[in-house]
Structure 1
């Protein structure tokens, strides 16, 4: 695949990811742990949610460098800048009309957002360009420990959940659902896309992990 094609897939994947994030924010049923943390920081400190996507992501880059015992991957700043811009654009400008009072519609929006988020992650990783620090953390821990991907993703989400609760972020039933299911959904979409002909960094990591067991 050409660099141009990879860049297109990368941007599309990050946009889809951001769309999923905003849909869950608008659903108001409890949002993904990392996003709940970003919203909590916005409410307690100020700045936009997109700004905190970048700031928190920068901190995770440092954590990843410790786990990998390598120099911080500064290229990881690229996707969090893009996501931060997309999230603020969609949340504050484009999707301001998304507001439901009926619980049924809120949960439909939430579940749609969750699936969109997982699909976006699976798509953008295929470009093999700089990963979102959160997802790089998932892959780094998987590589370091040999644990399955859904386990490492769940651990990362649980850590963010604890911080969001401490900061009194928008944590709800939906947050717990994301924490328990996001890793499984990413794995599902990853395998689905792999079966229709798209190679995957995650699939390769999983296979290497299975061979080492």
Structure 2
């Protein structure tokens, strides 16, 4: 998809602000469902419990570790990847501290909050991915592992989810019906959102940092020659 250089401010806004704000809200909804959360959030809960750090701080720390691992494995990242790393964590902590989304104590309430969280996650993923500014940390790691091992991306996703949920549970993270539901439901919500928007995610071409910088400064593209 050809994009004008003038589209970048709006693309940055949607990727950094709209997409990551919704991502943070979706995570809090799934946490406050209180019936078990998604595999990576189980790990973050466990690390938070073991370290005494806030969930949001753990979110940023773990995302940094994940994205650096992906880069070391040869994956390229973009500005959108960095937005995913650093922006949701502080928003998550703000919402939790202010108790803006209440903790649920019943199964119906928990299921409702889990469903809201998964759909918001699908919406936030569509918003930031359609701007084509780079994939998120977990997707980058999944793709990098797939390339290095020769295994399918689906296999690597299942392997990662299984490993992180086990470690998170051992560290004190909450595993429950919501964990199982989110393992299947989040991907489904993402797929339905893209389908409803008429966008095939396979046809999106995510820009890495170098590509975006070259587009923003076209006069410097050939400065090495």
- Name the counterpart of 2:32: 26
Aligned to 2:95: 90
Counterpart CA distance in 1 for 2:72 and 2:191 is 25
Equivalenced residues, count: 197
Return the index of the structure with the highest Cα Rg: 2
Would the aligned equivalents of 2:60 and 2:86 in 1 still touch at CA under 8 Å?
Answer: yes
Match of 2:180 among 176, 180, 195: 176
Query: What does residue range 1-213 of structure 1 map to in structure 2 within 5 Å?
Result: 1=3, 2-10=7-15, 11-68=17-74, 73=77, 76-93=81-98, 95-96=100-101, 98-141=102-145, 145=150, 147=152, 151-193=155-197, 195=198, 202-204=201-203
- Taking the aligned partners of 1:17 and 1:142, their CA distance within structure 2 comes to 25
SS in 1 for 2:118: helix
RMSD of aligned Cα (Å): 2.6
Q: Which runs of 5+ in 1 are unaligned?
A: 207-213
Distance, in Å, in 2 between the alignment partners of 1:205 and 1:166 is 38
Helix, strand or coil: the match of 1:129?
coil
TM-score by length of 2: 0.76
Give the conservation status (yes or no) of the 8 Å contact 1:61–1:74: no
Q: Distance in 1 between matches of 2:106 and 2:152?
A: 40
Which moves more between the two structures, 181-190 or 34-43? 181-190
Report how far residue 28 of structure 1 moved.
Answer: 0.3
Whole-Å Cα distance in 1 between the matches of residues 155 and 189 of structure 2? 12
